[in-house]
Amino acid sequence: MKITIHRGKDQIGGCITEIESKNGSRIIIDLGHNLPKGDKESEDEYASDEAVAKLTEGVNDIFYTHNHGDHVELFHFVPEGKNQYIGPLALKMMQKRYEHMSYVDEWKSGCEYKLEKLSTFKTYSIAKQIPAGEIKVTPFAVSHSATDSYMLVVECDGKRVLHTGDFREHGYTGGKLIDVIEKYGIAGNIDVLITEGTNIGQADKRVRPEAEVQEEMLQVMRKYKNVFILSSSADADRLESIWSANKRRRYRPFVCDVYQKQTMAAIAEARKGMGRYYQFDDNKVYPYCSDNKKLVNWMKDKGFTMMIRRSVKFQGYLDEILPWCKPEETCLIYSQFRGYIIQSHEAFSEKTKAFVDQFPHLEYAHTSGHASKETLEKVCNAVNPKAAIIPIHKTAMADFKALDIGEELKNKVVENEIDIDGIKIDFH
Ligand SMILES: [Zn+2]
Ligand SMILES: [Zn+2]
């Protein structure tokens, strides 16, 4: 078996992992685009039909762990006739997003092309094995800031690989992580662990549970009557935090736009009867419309929680709403990566900063979508791979040997080309 890691060793995003059997069956896990930097378009040497055709030559099956752009965004360059797999709700969320974006004239044809490509996608289900030539792939759900994310167990040439994708333990359903690893016979039964290491080597802090984000939001909602929230519209956990915090304030409408309402309805539908989270009541999600006098009067009377995005449409809404909001009663909860509004950060976006600056008060409520150091230690120890740990989706500064995982596992951390137990590991 040969494992090739493309650009995962010293960068976050743009992830591509290739696995090849000795008889030449080959799969790809994730075809991610490089992450954008600030307001600039992100550059990517693979972002062309030719480059992806070359990369996927001889590959019949491509598996996506989740629908974040840095794992999936090269999908539309994949030549016809190849199987592309992703989780069912993850696929639906992508389709909703492109349908929504296609209403903008300049994006229309690009989005329609992507929707056509997505219509050929196949979906997988939890613990159900998919054959890909001689290779077999089995997905297991994980918690992450993208809705419907998975880790994959790959069987090839009698060896087993666990590719974690992006994951975390501190989301609403993240607590099941180690149980899943134990229950499905993953623990102690893996040769190579390929794991994300996003939070390793970041000078940071304790990674706060998502439930704390909900509490912080509730505090802000108690302090301010009019609460706007800038956040991902496709992160089921964050939506759960916002939804539940607002519910605890009672009498305040949950306001958004039609796209956000549809996204929440899709999540609630897919998660119906599956526990207490993500049960958003569609009848209580109100799309903003200035003609809806009943809603506007309700907002003026009781205050509101309103999910917003930085767009021309939302700016129009804000131009209508902000003038009647008393500044001392009005706040924006900034609920996404803080780097976008920190001038010295490479991700700094002048447009986002200007958007945020129009609100009289600003509060911050966010937590990482990625595994904490402690969670990574638990996963490495529980999986206890026989041959190797390959850290990906991390900065060059991330040092897995500094984790508390014991000498034996530390010696299995692979960051350079190597051949072990008949497994060839390569980096590109
Ligand atoms: Zn990622
Ligand atoms: Zn991700």
Which two three-digit tokens encode residue 358? 């129009």
Q: How far is the CA of 221 from the centre of ligand 1 (A)?
A: 31
Q: How far is the CA of 89 from the centre of ligand 2 (A)?
A: 15
Q: Find the mean pLDDT for residues 281-288.
A: 98
Within this chain, do residues 305 and 403 fall inside the same structural domain, yes or no?
Answer: no
Q: How far is the CA of 159 from the centre of ligand 2 (A)?
A: 26
Window from 2-16, 227-241, 250-264, 266-280 with minimum mean pLDDT: 2-16
Comparing 35 with 73, the larger pLDDT belongs to 73
- Neighbouring CB atoms inside 10 A of 300's CB total 14
User: Of 337, 364, 391, which residue constitutes the final position of a domain?
Assistant: 364
203: confidence class by pLDDT, cuts 50, 70, 90:
low
Distance CA 232, CA 146 (A): 9
pLDDT tens for 6-46 read: 987 888 889 899 999 999 999 999 999 998 777 777 789 99
Within this chain, do residues 22 and 56 fall inside the same structural domain, yes or no?
Answer: yes
| Residues paired with 330 in a beta bridge | 226
Q: How far is the CA of 12 from the centre of ligand 1 (A)?
A: 6
Within this chain, do residues 24 and 171 fall inside the same structural domain, yes or no?
Answer: yes
Give the CA angle between residues 165, 273, 146 to the nearest 5°.
25
Neighbours of ion ligand 1 (CB under 5 A): 70, 166
CB of 42 within 8 A of CB of 35? yes
CA atoms within 13 A on the CB side of 289: 7
For residue 285, give the 3-state DSSP assignment. Answer: strand
Q: How far is the CA of 296 from the centre of ligand 2 (A)?
A: 36
List the CATH number of the domain containing 56.
3.60.15.10
Within this chain, do residues 108 and 192 fall inside the same structural domain, yes or no?
Answer: yes
Inter-CA distances, 347 with 207, 341, 344, 351, 354, Å? 20, 8, 9, 12, 15
Inter-CA distances, 146 with 18, 67, 250, 344, 401, Å? 22, 7, 28, 27, 28
Q: How far is the CA of 186 from the centre of ligand 2 (A)?
A: 22
Distance CA 412, CA 133 (A): 29
Q: Find the mean pLDDT for residues 306-310.
A: 97
Q: How far is the CA of 41 from the centre of ligand 2 (A)?
A: 19
Compute φ and ψ for 120, nearest 5 degrees. -95, -5
Within this chain, do residues 177 and 295 fall inside the same structural domain, yes or no?
Answer: no
Average pLDDT of every residue of the chain:
95
Distance CA 71, CA 369 (A): 14
Which two three-digit tokens encode residue 419? 């051949």
Within this chain, do residues 23 and 163 fall inside the same structural domain, yes or no?
Answer: yes
List the CATH number of the domain containing 234.
3.40.50
Q: How far is the CA of 168 from the centre of ligand 2 (A)?
A: 10
Report which bound ligand comes closest to the CA of 146.
2
User: Of 326, 346, 364, which residue constitutes the final position of a domain?
Assistant: 364
CB of 90 within 8 A of CB of 118? no
Q: How far is the CA of 370 from the centre of ligand 2 (A)?
A: 8
Q: How far is the CA of 344 from the centre of ligand 2 (A)?
A: 24
Of 167, 165, 171, 166, residue with least CA distance to 153: 165
Q: How far is the CA of 326 from the centre of ligand 2 (A)?
A: 38
| Residues paired with 17 in a beta bridge | 5, 29
Which two three-digit tokens encode residue 345? 């950060």
Within this chain, do residues 321 and 378 fall inside the same structural domain, yes or no?
Answer: no
Report which bound ligand comes closest to the CA of 392.
1
Within this chain, do residues 357 and 373 fall inside the same structural domain, yes or no?
Answer: no
Distance CA 182, CA 172 (A): 19
Q: How far is the CA of 291 from the centre of ligand 2 (A)?
A: 38
Of 74, 115, 125, residue with least CA distance to 94: 115
Q: For the chain, what is the domain count?
A: 2
| DSSP-derived secondary structure letter, 57 | T
- Neighbouring CB atoms inside 10 A of 328's CB total 10
Residue 195 has pLDDT above 90, yes or no: yes
Amino acid in position 286: Y
Distance CA 218, CA 248 (A): 8
Q: Which domain holds residue 418?
A: 2-202+369-427
Distance CA 412, CA 272 (A): 42
| DSSP-derived secondary structure letter, 79 | P
Report which bound ligand comes closest to the CA of 196.
1
For residue 269, give the 3-state DSSP assignment. Answer: helix
Q: How far is the CA of 293 from the centre of ligand 2 (A)?
A: 39
Distance CA 316, CA 359 (A): 14
Q: How far is the CA of 181 from the centre of ligand 1 (A)?
A: 21
Which two three-digit tokens encode residue 90? 């993850």
Inter-CA distances, 43 with 32, 35, 73, 77, 402, Å? 12, 8, 12, 15, 32
Report the pLDDT value the prediction gives residue 38, as an integer from 0 to 100. Answer: 77
Within this chain, do residues 192 and 268 fall inside the same structural domain, yes or no?
Answer: no
User: Of 364, 380, 409, which residue constitutes the final position of a domain?
Assistant: 364
Q: How far is the CA of 93 from the centre of ligand 2 (A)?
A: 14
Listed in sequence order, the residues at least 6 apart from 267 whose beta carbon sits closer than 8 Å to its beta carbon are: 89, 93, 147, 236, 239, 278, 280
Within this chain, do residues 47 and 97 fall inside the same structural domain, yes or no?
Answer: yes
Sign of the C-alpha dihedral, residues 154, 160, 166, 172?
positive
Q: How far is the CA of 161 from the centre of ligand 2 (A)?
A: 20
Within this chain, do residues 214 and 186 fall inside the same structural domain, yes or no?
Answer: no
Q: How far is the CA of 13 from the centre of ligand 2 (A)?
A: 8
Q: How far is the CA of 269 from the centre of ligand 1 (A)?
A: 26
Residue 204 has pLDDT above 70, yes or no: no
Within this chain, do residues 413 and 313 fall inside the same structural domain, yes or no?
Answer: no
Q: How far is the CA of 290 from the centre of ligand 1 (A)?
A: 38
pLDDT tens for 120-162 read: 999 999 999 999 999 999 999 999 999 999 999 999 999 999 9
Window from 12-16, 45-49, 183-187, 373-377 with minimum mean pLDDT: 12-16
